[in-house]
Each structure stands twice: as C-alpha cells, then as structure tokens.
A = this chain, B = another copy of it.
Amino acid sequence: MAQSDVNAHCRIVVDAMGGDFAPQNAVLGAIQAANEDPSIELYLIGKEKEILNVISGNNLSFDKSHIVNADEVITMSDHPTDAIKTKRNSSITLGARMVREKKAEAFVSAGNTGAMLVASTLMMGKLPGVERPTIGTVMPSENGIVTVFDVGASVDSKARHMLDYAIMGSIFVREIHNISNPKIGILSVGEEDTKGNEVSLNALELIRKTNLNVVGNIEGRDILNGKVNVVVCDGFVGNIILKFAESFMSLLKTKIKLFADKGLLNKLRVLLMKGTLKKVMKQFDYQTYGGVPLLGVNGISIIGHGSSSVLAIKNMVLRAKEMHDKKLTQKIEESLKEYANIS
C-alpha cells in the first residue's frame, strides 16, 4: 500500500448553502469535522449573515476570516450549466474557484449535483487524459459495500471513458475503502464476454488490457451480491440504478404500511418489528458513506445528497480530508498516465 501523509494540513471549503437543510446542517457538520481533525483548515462559503446566524445560534466559535461571502445561491432546481454561467457569485462557483486558485485543496457541497459537476470540471479542470470525470456511489452489498462508477456524470459514454471510470474507481476503492486489489465488473446483461451492448463489449475489451483486477461482465443481480468491489457502467445506467435503489426502500415501507392498515393485529405486528427494521434499513442509508466523489478533476470535489444530515456533511468533509491525506488525485493521475496508450 502506498504511503500517506496522515494528518497533513488541508484547506477544505464547504458550501454552507448546499442541501435541503442549509445552512444549518452544512455549517454544523463542517465545524464538527474540523473539531474532530485539527489539521483541517475549514472555510465556509455562502451568505455570510446566514452562516454567522447558525454559528451564534448554536453557541459555536469560528474564525470569521474563514467565512467567504457568496451572495448568490444555485438552487436544486436550477439548470446546472445555465446556473454556473449566470450565477457567478454563487457558493458553488466560488467554492470550486478557490480550489482552482490554490486557496483550498478540497470543495464539499450537498447542493445541486449537476452544478457541482460542471463547476468542479470547469474551475478545477480535468486531469491529463481524462475526457469525462466520473461520479461514483457506494451501496451496501452482501459482504460489505460496493462502489458504482459512473452514476450520472456522463451519458453515452464511450469505451475509453468507461476504462477511465475503471481506473479511477479502482484507485478510489483501494485507497479509501482499503481493498488492496479491487475486483472490477462491467455491468452487462450476461456474464460471458460476448454478452452486452456495443459500448460495454468494447469497454470490457479495453479494460482487459490493463492489469486491473477485472472479473469480467456482471449482471444486475451481481451489483449487490459482493462479487465485485467496483461496478463500471455508463452514467445513464448507473444513475437509473442509483435512483431505483433509493426508491426500493420507500416502496417496502409503503407495502408494510398497507399491511398494517389491514387490521389491528397487523398493526401490532408492524409496531413490534419497526425498531428492528429501522436498524437493518440504516445500512441502506447513503448518509453513512459521506457523499460521492467526483473523480478525474484536478482537485478534490465531494458531492452530497440534497437531504444530507449533519453527520453526512461531517463525513463528507472527513472523506475529503482522507482523499487529500492519501494523495488520491496524484495517484489517479499517475495511473491514468500508465494506461494512456491503451486502445
């Protein structure tokens, strides 16, 4: 395993305006993370007055010089590219710019995912050789967790892009989830090398030319069964899978509620199991995993779920710090260089 500068000093900008519960959750989570790891130099970006309100309202102390005022806010419903163009003083634009200008090493936001993607890509720039940065997600699996790349940064990916997702995802999982030689599967409709659509078949062929630990094609049923550590797919498929998975739990809840509504005995039965089910379902909660990384940009960019809790924000900031400590961006850059000539 490569060395890492544990506890290296790291400047992290947190978008105080990002997420459905901003600025409250963003500010509290960020400050908790900074308190936990003193080598984090925290910057809060957003409407200064609102940030100060949260700080004083919670009797916290925070160095005012580390609050960066941003007058504009990109909302969840804003169109990403349009918003980046028109809201030049938004927290997302200015936060990403701080990384570009070497005023910070990492930017963290639970705001508009598309805007974070566009701003991070435009401001930080792409790593040499990367055409398309990728967003990954972590899901629970039969033997722990599984990470899926791409889940929405790109649609209509080409095989070369999917090779890059495999390279970047593999390093992320190795460094961050401490899996020494992550098993990689290409998401397809059958296990045989001949099964797939045009791009998945081409991607498999390319990825087999690396010395990554490629299992081969995997099917939809293999995503969660622990067969691989990294699932590689086009962002169109990955995004649909991710959102589908999130909705599965709410359907289960509805069906349990319908069952309870069918009579007093059923209601009692459901009441009895509620606590247990809640504990089990907690493992399906994205909040635990600390946001999703955007890989392939020249800097650290972490994107959180809109409904991020204080804990989720805290975990995102600590994750950004870990990526910095482990020199993830540099390692990805080196690995991409190693495989630059594969075609």
Contact = CB atoms under 8 A, between A and B. Distances in A.
Interface string A48-91: 00000000000000000000000000000000000000000000
B241 A220 contact: yes
Interface residues of A, number: 53
Interface stretch (A2-10, A101-109, A269-277): A269-277
A251 B141 contact: yes
Majority-rule SS of A interface residues: helix
A141 B255 CA distance: 9
A276 B273 contact: yes
Contacts of A152: 189
A243 B224 contact: no
Given A243-B219, A248-B248, A256 B236 contact: no
A266 to B, nearest CB: 8
A293 interface: no
Contacts of A266: 276
A77 to B, nearest CB: 10
A155 interface: yes
A219 B239 CA distance: 9
B270 A276 contact: yes
A139 B140 CA distance: 22
A241 B241 contact: yes
Interface in A146-170: 152, 155-156
Contact of A140 (B142, B244, B255, B283): B255
A140 to B, nearest CB: 7
Interface in A114-146: 140-142
A274 to B, nearest CB: 9
A299 interface: no
Nearest to A234: B197
B241 A224 contact: no
A243 B222 CA distance: 8
A244 B247 contact: no
Contacts of A279: 259
B224 A248 contact: yes
Interface string A231-243: 0001111011111
B280 A189 contact: no
Contacts of A284: 255
Contacts of A243: 219-221
Given A221-B243, A241-B241, A259-B280, 6 more contacts: A142-B254, A155-B189, A188-B236, A200-B236, A256-B280, A273-B273
Q: 10 closest A-B pairs (Cβ-Cβ)?
A: A220-B243, A273-B273, A220-B244, A220-B240, A221-B243, A155-B197, A221-B247, A269-B276, A189-B239, A197-B236
